[in-house]
Amino acid sequence: MAAKRATAKKSAKKSVRTSAKKSASKRMTAKRAVSKAKDLSDLFHDTLKDIYFAEKHILKALPKMAKAAQSPDLIAAFEKHHGETEGQVDRLEQVFRLIDKPAQAKTCDAIMGILDEGKEIMDEYKGTEALDAGLLAAAQAVEHYEISRYGTLKAWASKLGLTEAVRLLDETLQQEHKTDEALTTLALGEVNSEAMAA
């Protein structure tokens, strides 16, 4: 009797293991099928929608940041970058046309978080000498996000043979690098010093 129970237990365990292996195998097959359905061009398109969303929201945030800033140089930097961002949106729309897709945004939680931090700084440091330093830090976080996205999109466009998209994305990437450098110069020059002097 005990031998029958032991054999039955072994048989049940073996059956459960076999069933688990079959389930795992089915899940892996399903994952592979999904993976095969999407490729680099899909990822490029999704990321393009992501940065398009980001740029549209940055366009809305820059005037608020310029209004909150106290340093005339920082105000000018935000205003200048607003104009540049309009051109960046235009270039993204050109890239959408190159891949025969509508210019469409996809919610980007990353940029929303970065912009929310900027709003928080504007609220918490309003009227203080540290406000401009905080705004600069928030603006540079945006720039670094954009630099990473445009660098990635440019590399993928190259792999996909989208020569004109590479040119357009590189133009924006270079502009973002210059903006980041200008913000760093401002921070090292007057803005951080004024925040320390308060």
The residue among 118, 112, 126 whose CA lies nearest residue 78 is 118
Helix (H, G, I), strand (E, B) or coil at 99: coil
3-state per-residue secondary structure call for 52-90: HHHHHHHHHHHHHHHHHCCCHHHHHHHHHHHHHHHHHHH
Residue 34 has, within 13 A of its CA and on its CB side, a CA count of 6
Q: What is the pLDDT of residue 37?
A: 87
Tell me how crowded residue 154 is: count the other CB atoms within 10 A of its CB.
19
Q: Which residues lie below 8 Å from residue 58, measured CB to CB, with a gap of 6+?
A: 85, 111, 115, 142, 146
Sequential pLDDT tens for the chain (198 residues) = 555 555 555 555 565 555 555 655 665 555 555 556 899 999 999 999 999 999 999 999 999 999 999 999 999 999 999 999 999 999 999 999 999 999 999 999 999 999 999 999 999 999 888 899 999 999 999 999 999 999 999 999 999 999 999 999 999 999 999 999 999 998 888 665 555 555
Q: What is the pLDDT of residue 117?
A: 94
Alpha-carbon distance 140 to 155, whole Å?
22
Tell me the two tokens of residue 50: 């992501």
Give yes or no for a contact between 169 and 63, defined as CB atoms under 8 angstroms apart: no
Q: What is the pLDDT of residue 107?
A: 96
Q: How many residues does the chain have?
A: 198
Give yes or no for a contact between 74 and 132, defined as CB atoms under 8 angstroms apart: yes
Q: What is the pLDDT of residue 178?
A: 96
pLDDT tens digits for range 63-81: 999 999 999 999 999 999 9
Tell me how crowded residue 169 is: count the other CB atoms within 10 A of its CB.
27
pLDDT tens digits for range 76-98: 999 999 999 999 999 999 999 99
Alpha-carbon distance 190 to 79, whole Å?
18
**Displacement of CA 168 from its chain's centroid (Å):** 18
